[in-house]
A and B are shown apart, each in its own frame.
Chain A
C-alpha cells in the first residue's frame, strides 16, 4: 500500500491522530522523559501545544540531587549521560511543576508523568499519588535507568517487573494509562516486554538508553564521574528500531499494546522508520537539546510524507514494514 502513489498527491491533510490504548493524541509526537524538564524550560523555543503528549522527567518520592558532575559527554553521533534522576521530588512536583502542565494540557498535549523509585512500595505510592490527578493522562514507569544503583533492578527481571507493574496498576486511578519504559540492557527484551504486558501495562515505551562508557585516555579514567552512563542520540537509532520491530512482532501486536518508539529520533525519516517498525507514538529526546523545535519540524515532514504516500492517516504506517521474505504487496509496473 502506498507505493507508486507519489504522482497522485492529495490535497486533503492526512490525519495524524493516534489512539494509544484509549489515550487519544492529536499526533504521535512527544518528548522523551528527562529531555524536556518539566515543560516550561523550552517555552521560548517551541510551541509545546503542538505535541501529542508531554512526558516529564522522572519524578521520585524524595528530592534527588543527582550524580556528581561531569554528567554528560558527547560521543560520535550521540551522547552519554549520567544525570542520576535529579528531580524536585513528589511534593514539589505536585505543588509547583504540575499546575503549569495542567494549563498546557488545555491547549492540546496529553500529560504523561514519568515515575521512578527504589522499591515496589516507593513506585506504588508515587505513581498512585500522581495518577490520582485527573489531568495526568498516563504514568510512565521508569524501570530502566542505567545511572542509579537500583535503576535497572525491575527493568531486567521479568518476574519482578510483572509484580511491580501489577501493583502499580492497582494503585492508579483506573482511567489513567500505565506505560512501562523498557530497557535495552537485557538479554531478551521480549521477555521484559511480555512481563510488563502480563502485569497490566497498557502501553510500552522503548527504549531507554544503553549502558555505555567512554574513557579519557590521558587521565585513564571514565569521562563521566559516574563511570558509566546511558548512550542516546542518532548512534542508537538502528538498535532502537530493531527492538521496536522485535517487540511489536513478538509481543505487542498480538497483545494489542501500542508502542511509543524512541532512540535517536531527529528527522521525520527517523520517525517514519519507527512507525513502520511498529511504534504508534514517537518520542524525541537528545535532539531536543540541540533544537527544542525538533518534534514540530518532524510533524511537518511527516505530514508531507503521508501526503506523498497517499495515506489518509498516520496509522496506515504503523507496523506497515514489509520484510524481504514477504510477498510484494503490489507488483512493479
Chain B
C-alpha cells in the first residue's frame, strides 16, 4: 500500500480490525483540544494519512460486571476484600456516555518494540469527547481502524500545501510525515478562529509572520523542515484573516512552473474546504479534500455519511448545472476526494 497508489482500493483489503488500546498520553495542546496517544501492544495494520479510527467513547466492554466500588464512596466497608462485588442489575443505568463511536483522523503513527502507537487530536464538543478528555495514562480505549481511503501523491508533483483548519489539522500532520519520507516539499497552513484554538506546538522564539510569510514556526511541520503560515480570524496571532487569505497570498506568488508541481491537501469545516477548493481551481492547482461527515458506523453499513460526488457512471441525479452526481460514503469511498469532483 502506497500513497502513490490509487486510493480507491477498498481499505479492508489492507487489513483492519477492532483493537484494545491503552492511553499513553492525553495532553492538552490548546484550549479545548487534546493530543491523545494510544498504544496498541499487538501492533496496528498499515495505515496512511487521511485514514481514520473510530473510538468507543465509553469504558470498553459490557457494563454488567462488578460495580465500581469507588462510586459508592464511604460504603466500601459493606464487603470484605475478596468478596464478590455486587453486580449491576440494569445495564442501562450505567450508561452515562455516548451510544456511537466517534471518528478521528490519524494525526500520527509510529511502530516500535512496544507495538504501534496512534495519535489523534480531539476537541471537547460533547459527551463523547468529554469522556476522552478524562482519560489518563494506562486507561483502556476500544478502537476500530484503520478506516477509509487516503491522500495520494500524484506522479509529477513534488510540492504539498497542507491546509488544515481547526480540527482538520490532524491528518495534515500525518501527511507531513509521509511527504517528508517521499521527498516532497511542503508548506503548512494553519488556521483557527483565534490564537488559543490553534492545536499546534509553536517553535520557541519564532512567532508566525503577520504578513503570511511561511516560517519554521510550527513544530509539527518544522520537524520535517517545512515552513508554516498561521492565520487567525481575529488577528490574535499570525496573519489576520481566514486561512484562504494566507493560501491565496502564497498561490498568487507562485510561478506557473511551481504551480504545476503543487497539490493542495485540505481538511477542515466544509465551507473552508469549499473555499480552498475554489481557490485552488482558480490557480489551476490540484486539490484533495478530506471530508468530515457525521457517521454512525464508519464501516460502510449505515449509509449516513454521504457526500455528493460528480459521477457520470451510475448517477443518482443531476445538478441544476447538469452535472451527474452520486452519493459516496465518506467512511469507505472517502474521506479523501478530488476537490473538483465534490459538489458542495
Contacts and interface: CB of A to CB of B under 8 A. Distances in A.
A291 B56 contact: yes
Contacts of A79: 99-100, 296
Interface stretch (B115-123, B154-162, B243-251, B297-305): B297-305
B294 interface: yes
B317 interface: yes
B21 to A, nearest CB: 15
Nearest to B60: A291
B304 A72 contact: yes
B293 interface: yes
Interface in B75-95: 90-92, 95
Contacts of A83: 302-304
Interface string B99-143: 111000000000000000000000000000000000000000010
Contact of A37 (B18, B63, B301, B316): B301
B95 A288 contact: no
A332 interface: no
A17 B217 CA distance: 65
Interface of B is mostly: loop
A269 B296 contact: no
Contacts of B100: 74, 79, 289-290
B296 to A, nearest CB: 4
A45 B294 contact: no
B77 to A, nearest CB: 26
Interface string B301-344: 11111110000001011000000001100001000000000000
Interface in A30-70: 34-37, 41-45, 57, 63, 65-66, 69-70
Contact of A289 (B64, B293, B302): B302
Interface residues of A, number: 42
B12 interface: yes
B16 interface: yes
Interface of A is mostly: loop
B95 A77 contact: yes
B99 A267 contact: no
B223 interface: no
A41 B305 contact: no
A269 B62 CA distance: 11
A267 B64 contact: yes
Nearest to A69: B306
Nearest to B11: A44
Interface in A55-102: 57, 63, 65-66, 69-74, 77-79, 81, 83, 86
Contacts of A43: 12
A71 B16 contact: no
B317 A290 contact: no
A40 to B, nearest CB: 9
A233 interface: yes
B92 A37 contact: no
Interface string A306-331: 00000000000000000000000000
B297 A289 contact: yes
A266 interface: yes
A152 interface: no
B62 A81 contact: no
Nearest to B144: A45
A74 B98 contact: yes
Contact of A292 (B56, B95, B299, B304): B299
Contacts of A266: 91
Nearest to A232: B99
A293 interface: yes
Given A69-B306, A267-B62, A291-B56, A42 B299 contact: yes
Contact of B56 (A78, A288, A290, A301): A290
Interface string B6-39: 0000001001111000000000000000000000
Contact of A72 (B63, B294, B314, B326): B294
Contact of B303 (A71, A77, A267, A290): A71
B122 to A, nearest CB: 16
Interface in B157-201: none
Contacts of A270: 91
B277 interface: no
Contact of A45 (B17, B62, B91, B306): B17
Contacts of B297: 41, 288-290, 292
A291 B293 CA distance: 19
Contact of B296 (A57, A63, A77, A81): A81
A7 B94 CA distance: 28
A286 interface: yes
A45 B92 contact: no
Top 8 nearest A-B pairs (CB, nearest first) are A65-B316, A37-B301, A72-B304, A289-B296, A289-B297, A71-B304, A41-B300, A41-B301
Given A267-B63, A297-B62, 5 more contacts: A42-B299, A77-B92, A78-B99, A267-B91, A292-B297
Interface of A: 34-37, 41-45, 57, 63, 65-66, 69-74, 77-79, 81, 83, 86, 233-234, 237, 266-270, 286, 288-293, 297, 301
Interface of B: 12, 15-18, 56, 62-64, 90-92, 95, 98-101, 142, 144, 293-297, 299-307, 314, 316-317, 326-327, 332
17 contacts: A37-B300, A41-B297, A45-B18, A45-B144, A66-B327, A70-B294, A71-B306, A77-B92, A78-B99, A81-B302, A234-B92, A269-B90, A289-B100, A289-B301, A292-B297, A297-B62, A301-B62
